[in-house]
Amino acid sequence: MTAAPSPRRERIAELTADQLRARLPEALQIYVTAMGYPPSTVQQRAPMWSAHMLRAGWRCVGAFTDQDELIGIGYGYLGAPGQWWHEQVRRGLLSSGAEIGDWLDDYFELTELHVHPSGQGAGLGEEILRRLLAGAPGTKVLLSTPEGPTRAWRLYRRVGFTDVLRNYRFAGDPRPFAVLGRPLPLEPR
């Protein structure tokens, strides 16, 4: 008779830029797999993620299996004029006729939040999100996510994100995206 396998336990931890650099191939593989991008995307994104680590307010959180394998990753920083994403969202808001209001002032850009498909559905995304946003700079948080009914959408709605811009096509990706936002801090569970 064999014993039942012990349940997998994940550890959530903040990562320094040096710690993420050391695990960048692993983190990018999670990103590519979770987003359904071609493997060649890794070469394009590696320098971008490295540059993001130098931005003001940068924070990163990882989820690790009990074998110390990275299974989830999230990071962000203070958004600012001149940054690619900021300018894309500004352009989208202006062209849609939506009011920019103060959305693009004093915000934390949740740049990446991904959980490997093998770890999805167990609450890891929310744990990463909550840890990342706890103490994040800014009065609000903004993110973009592909349109459609996904686990990510359910998570963002559950923690209070609302529509800022819908069905926007970022340069370089043919899919429609939504830009979502909410005030900081998050309410406790």
Q: Which residues carry out catalysis? A: 156
In this structure, the dihedral spanned by the alpha carbons of residues 104, 150, 96 and 76, taken in order and rounded to 10 degrees, is: 20
Q: Crossing angle, helix 24-35 and helix 41-52, to 10 degrees?
A: 120
Count of helices and strands (H, E) across the chain = 6, 7
Residues pairing with 62 in the sheet: 13, 73
Phi-psi region of 148 (alpha: psi -120 to 50; beta: other; left: phi over 0): left
Is residue 159 within 8 Å of 128, Cβ to Cβ? no
